[in-house]
Amino acid sequence: MPILQDLEYHIISDGVSWTDGGGAFGLVPRTIWAKQLPPDDQNRIPLSLTSLLIRSEGKTILVDTGYGRKLSDKGKQVAGLVRAEGDLLEALARMDVLPEDIDIVINTHLHADHCGGNTIEQNGRLVPAFPNAHYYIQRLEWADAIAPNERTQATYLPDNYAPLQESGHLKLIRGDTQITHHVRTAVTRGHTRAHQVIIIEAGGQTLIFMADLATLHYQFQRLAWVTAYDVEPLETIESKRYWQQWALANNAVLIFQHDTQIPMGQLVRDGKRLKVEPISIS
């Protein structure tokens, strides 16, 4: 998916996670959301585990790393993990990208489904899965991850990020950060206190990798729809209010990291309401 001659991006997958629909839709009644995204007989819905590969200014950048390869069989079962076409590393290999080729890894946040692939086990110890990369993580996100509370400790798992500090691969950033001339991060508080999205601006086009600012396109259409996982749901609403208007003003292409129905779309006005229209990713 080239944007400019010196910049390209590719959507790649670590598989699909089948998870309880109530988590994704929070306070929205099942009788409402199930009409939009019917769950299976265990009340689970499919969530894509999408990462973004960017080549910009000679740098190969990977945004988020999925669950990785460290999950036990029980962990895979709990996550409802399905990898019909293999995991993230296999997807990269199909593009002739080796782990050593990655220069920068950006974590949108440190929940396990976004950073589990940061590290890998080698010779009985955990090491960075991308040995030549600096890992860009928001300083406040790091602070929350290394001192989780009772609510967050089940998804902030030190094995996914602590080895990065020990190996010297960690790069903590503070607030909105320019990565290359065309690639930047922007903090979107709510899902976590320092959750960040990734923005590409090049060739007159604008793209935003939504991560969990809006887990599914439904949540970007409706301000009140937030997940049960958002630690600051009222902040999520205000973040979405700002980024809705930003997306409209910039005619932005939206990549929904977990959405199997509309993985890529654009926000448009539909009368008095806002609606995400799908865009082909082919």
pLDDT in tens, 187-245: 999 999 999 999 999 988 999 999 999 999 999 999 999 999 999 999 999 999 999 99
Residue pair 11/264 in contact (Cβ under 8 Å)? The answer is yes
pLDDT of 281 strictly over 90: no
Per-residue pLDDT band at 142 (split at 50, 70, 90): very high
pLDDT tens-digit map of 45-73: 999 999 999 999 999 999 999 999 999 99
Cα separations in angstroms, 240 against 58, 141, 207, 214, 257: 32, 19, 16, 8, 16
pLDDT tens-digit map of 21-45: 999 999 999 999 999 999 999 999 9
pLDDT of 180 strictly over 60: yes
How far is Cα 12 from Cα 91, in angstroms, rounded to an integer?
6
Per-residue pLDDT band at 265 (split at 50, 70, 90): very high
Q: What's the mean pLDDT when you consider all of the chain?
A: 96
Question: What mean pLDDT comes out for the span 131-135?
Answer: 98
Handedness of CA 213, 216, 220, 226 (dihedral sign): negative
pTM for this prediction: 0.96
Per-residue pLDDT band at 280 (split at 50, 70, 90): confident
Per-residue pLDDT band at 9 (split at 50, 70, 90): very high
Helix, strand or coil, per DSSP, at residue 239: helix
Pair of tokens at residue 108: 């949108």
* Domain CATH for 32: 3.60.15.10
246, 247, 248, 249: CA torsion to nearest 10:
50
Range of 65's domain? Answer: 2-278
Angle at 145 between CA 113 and CA 130, to 5 degrees: 55
Cα separations in angstroms, 184 against 5, 187, 199, 237: 19, 10, 5, 22
**Number of separate domains in the chain:** 1
Pair of tokens at residue 184: 């930047």
Give me the pLDDT at residue 3, please.
55
pLDDT tens-digit map of 165-179: 999 999 999 999 999
Question: What mean pLDDT comes out for the span 111-115?
Answer: 98
Q: State the CB neighbour count (10 A cutoff) for residue 253.
A: 20
Task: Compute CA 88 distance to the chain's CA centroid, rounded to the nearest angstrom.
Answer: 13
